[in-house]
């Protein structure tokens, strides 16, 4: 976490590091990466090298656009189809469901019809056992064409799979690719879903803007849903205290550590009207960020987005802050290293 120093009258900027866990579902791309037999393997060549006295390292890469996790563009299987630069980006970002279906052969229409896909726009199918690498010699799961057609009928925007293709490895017509494209379903192949439990996530898998190319590698990730009780890092008890303080006529009750009222990490200590002649005096038993946030920036803080605040990092106690302007301000104490901090808050100045 950024540790700014408290300077009265200076607006600081900070990005909260807390939030849902991100799962990388992209297999590593290296010289060991398997590509379709006959396609271009991944190789690199250092064209500038610091070891040779050059000003920097510069590497050239040669490989297929179907390496690793990748999005297939319609141009891959339709003459004159849209290229990777025209893939619908909205399909590649948003809520997604991971379903585990261990398999080395066909995924049928009946298999998919048995799933509850109500409201699902992005389906990721995990077919390989945990720890089992994707190898052509082991065989792999694929969609039968009528199963692919069903996904379009159900209104899916994207289908992803942890294998080399949505079609049978011997297919020459790529009927499942075509069925998905006719149904408006974007195709995402080559994922590594071994670390993703079945359930709901947010998918981010953006292709490169490769003009004239029939596919694009992606860095595919899943973001786990947040925990409602600690959304934005704000404890439920702290929010309750803030609500009671706001009802107390704009003066927050003192939180005295000696009375056992230790306040949790990332705690809200009140929203109230302040004048520039008021001062917020905060006593605390360990270093922490002491912040005044207006309503707009407090909402960003609670949502885990970048926000502006007045205040900074305090290593001494007490610290006093004066609001830069009249208005409604929320006092937030954000402790170091996920530790709880005992806090006492007083408003001094205009009574």
CB 252 within 8 A of CB 245: yes
Instruction: Look at residues 204, 223, 242 and tell me which one is the last residue of a structural domain.
Output: 223
Q: What is the CA radius of gyration of the chain?
A: 27
Number of domains making up the chain: 2
The yes-or-no verdict on residue 345 having pLDDT over 60 is yes
Question: Taking residues 184-203, what's their average pLDDT?
Answer: 94
Q: What is the pLDDT of residues 150-178, one digit of tens each?
A: 999 999 999 999 999 999 999 999 999 99
CATH number of the domain that residue 293 is part of: 2.60.120
Q: Going by C-beta distance under 8 Å and a sequence separation of 6 or more, which residues neighbour residue 159?
A: 122, 123, 124, 125, 143, 148, 151, 166, 180, 185, 186, 187, 188
Catalytic annotation, pick one of 66, 70, 76, 255: 76
Is the domain of 202 the same as that of 313? no
Secondary structure (DSSP) of 14-61: E-------EEE-----STT----TTSPPPEEEEEE-GGGT-SS-EEEE
CB 239 within 8 A of CB 335: no
Residue 6 in domain? no
The yes-or-no verdict on residue 149 having pLDDT over 60 is yes
At 266 the pLDDT is 52
Q: What is the pLDDT of residues 27-75, one digit of tens each?
A: 999 999 999 999 999 999 999 999 999 999 999 999 999 999 999 999 9
Domain that holds residue 191: 22-223
Residue 2 in domain? no
CATH number of the domain that residue 156 is part of: 3.50.30.50
Q: What is the mean pLDDT of the chain?
A: 80
Residues 114, 185, 159, 156: is their CA dihedral positive or negative? negative
Q: What is the pLDDT of residues 212-270, one digit of tens each?
A: 999 999 999 999 875 333 333 333 333 333 333 333 222 333 333 333 333 344 566 67
At 56 the pLDDT is 97
76 is catalytic: yes
Is the domain of 165 the same as that of 188? yes
Question: Taking residues 188-202, what's their average pLDDT?
Answer: 92
Instruction: Tokens 């205040």: give the residue.
Output: 311
Is the domain of 32 the same as that of 158? yes
Q: CB count, 10 Å around CB of 173? A: 10
The yes-or-no verdict on residue 284 having pLDDT over 80 is no
The yes-or-no verdict on residue 4 having pLDDT over 80 is no
Share of the chain above pLDDT 90, in %: 52
């Amino acid at each position: 976490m950024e540790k700014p120093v408290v300077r009265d009258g200076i607006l600081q900027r900070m990005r909260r590091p807390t939030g849902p866990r991100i799962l990388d579902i992209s297999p590593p791309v290296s010289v060991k990466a398997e590509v379709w037999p006959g396609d271009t393997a991944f190789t690199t060549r250092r064209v500038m090298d610091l070891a040779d006295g050059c000003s920097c390292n510069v590497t050239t890469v040669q490989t297929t656009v179907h390496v690793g996790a990748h999005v297939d563009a319609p141009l891959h299987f339709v003459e004159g189809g849209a290229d990777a630069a025209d893939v619908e980006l909205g399909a590649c970002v948003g809520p997604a469901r991971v379903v585990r279906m261990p398999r080395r052969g066909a995924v049928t229409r009946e298999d998919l019809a048995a799933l509850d896909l109500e409201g699902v726009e992005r389906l990721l199918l995990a077919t390989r056992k945990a720890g089992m690498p994707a190898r052509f010699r082991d065989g792999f799961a694929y969609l039968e064409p009528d199963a692919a057609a069903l996904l379009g009928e159900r209104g899916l925007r994207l289908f992803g799979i942890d294998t080399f293709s949505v079609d049978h490895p011997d297919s020459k017509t790529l009927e499942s690719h075509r069925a998905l494209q006719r149904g408006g379903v974007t195709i995402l192949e080559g994922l590594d879903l071994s670390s993703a439990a079945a359930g709901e996530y947010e998918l981010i898998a953006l292709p490169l803007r490769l003009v004239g190319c029939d596919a694009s590698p992606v860095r595919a990730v899943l973001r786990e849903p947040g925990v409602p009780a600690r959304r934005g890092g704000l404890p439920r008890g702290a929010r309750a205290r803030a609500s009671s303080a706001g009802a107390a006529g704009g003066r927050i009750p003192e939180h005295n550590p000696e009375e056992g009222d230790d306040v949790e990490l990332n705690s809200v200590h009140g929203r109230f009207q302040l004048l520039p002649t008021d001062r917020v005096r905060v006593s605390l038993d360990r270093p922490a960020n002491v912040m005044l946030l207006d309503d707009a920036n407090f909402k960003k803080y609670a949502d885990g987005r970048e926000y502006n605040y007045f205040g900074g990092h305090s290593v001494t106690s007490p610290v006093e802050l004066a609001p830069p302007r009249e208005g409604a301000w929320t006092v937030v104490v954000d402790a170091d290293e996920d530790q709880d901090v005992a806090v006492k808050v007083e408003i001094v100045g205009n009574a």
